[in-house]
Amino acid sequence: MSKSLLDGKSTNTATSKVKSTIKQRKPRGSLSKEAIVDAAKTLLHEQGIDALSIRKIANVLDAGPMSIYSHFSTKQDIVFALVEDFVVRAHQKEHPVTDWQEWLYLTFVDIFTASANEPEYLMLMVSSNNIGVASKQVFDGAVVCLTDAGFSSVNAAVAFHKLLSFTLGAAMMRASLAKAENENESVVHGVMMGSQFNTSLRDIIVGLK
């Protein structure tokens, strides 16, 4: 067989594969934001934050990258959507308690538990430069709770950030130490793992006023 015929056969094979791929891919506009976020969540859980790219998310969905760009302009927009989704899931519980200290305690225990169970979201929250609706609702709820308890609006905001910093910091340390193989200092390790988180959180809340 001549070289030209071999080249033609190779080109036809490659073209067939491309056509097959294009045919299998979902057409642009057939995807939803929810489907894209779900695919990103799958990648995040299975491969970590470094796996989040437009190309990999598109591959999970068996779609072309342009289908993703129809809904999200950048990868950072997807990160923002993931954070929003996480915050909503982390605050599904309602705590209809009248005592402001108990309300804060239950709310931040929820944050700690969710963050400790899904530590991959901790770095996402750090890297996200947007404050979404869900996150603002958590902040507003805490500020209302504190102002009702007699805090000024400024002091309420400071108290919220103090509690949030402690809670996320404890969850991050727990996530890091959970991977450690050696536990030479069991008492300190137990505290850092979060075994004393509830007690420490109550102490901080009592000390706010």
We report the CATH number of the domain holding residue 33 as: 1.10.10.60
One domain, residues 127 and 62: no
CB 126 within 8 A of CB 83: no
Q: Is residue 87 part of a domain?
A: no
What's the rounded Cα separation, in Å, for the pair 23 and 36?
20
One domain, residues 69 and 129: no
One domain, residues 26 and 124: no
One domain, residues 104 and 196: yes
* Per-residue confidence (pLDDT) for residue 4, from 0 to 100: 46
One domain, residues 113 and 188: yes
What's the rounded Cα separation, in Å, for the pair 195 and 26?
47
CA 52 to chain centre: 12
One domain, residues 47 and 111: no
One domain, residues 42 and 120: no
Count the domains in the chain: 2
Domain that holds residue 45: 22-73
* Per-residue confidence (pLDDT) for residue 189, from 0 to 100: 54
Question: What predicted TM-score, i.e. pTM, was given to this entire model?
Answer: 0.72
Q: Nearest to residue 108, comparing CAs of 149, 66, 56, 146?
A: 146
* Per-residue confidence (pLDDT) for residue 106, from 0 to 100: 92
CB 125 within 8 A of CB 111: no
Kindly give the confidence (pLDDT) of every residue in the chain, 209 residues in length, as a single tens digit, with 9 standing for 90 and above. 544 444 444 434 433 433 344 335 555 456 899 999 999 999 998 988 888 899 999 999 999 989 999 899 998 899 989 999 898 888 877 777 789 999 999 999 999 999 888 888 888 887 766 667 888 888 999 999 999 999 999 999 999 999 999 998 888 888 777 666 555 555 455 555 556 889 999 999 999 97
One domain, residues 48 and 105: no
One domain, residues 67 and 122: no
* Structural domain ending residue among the three candidates 39, 73, 107: 73
* Per-residue confidence (pLDDT) for residue 191, from 0 to 100: 52
One domain, residues 104 and 54: no
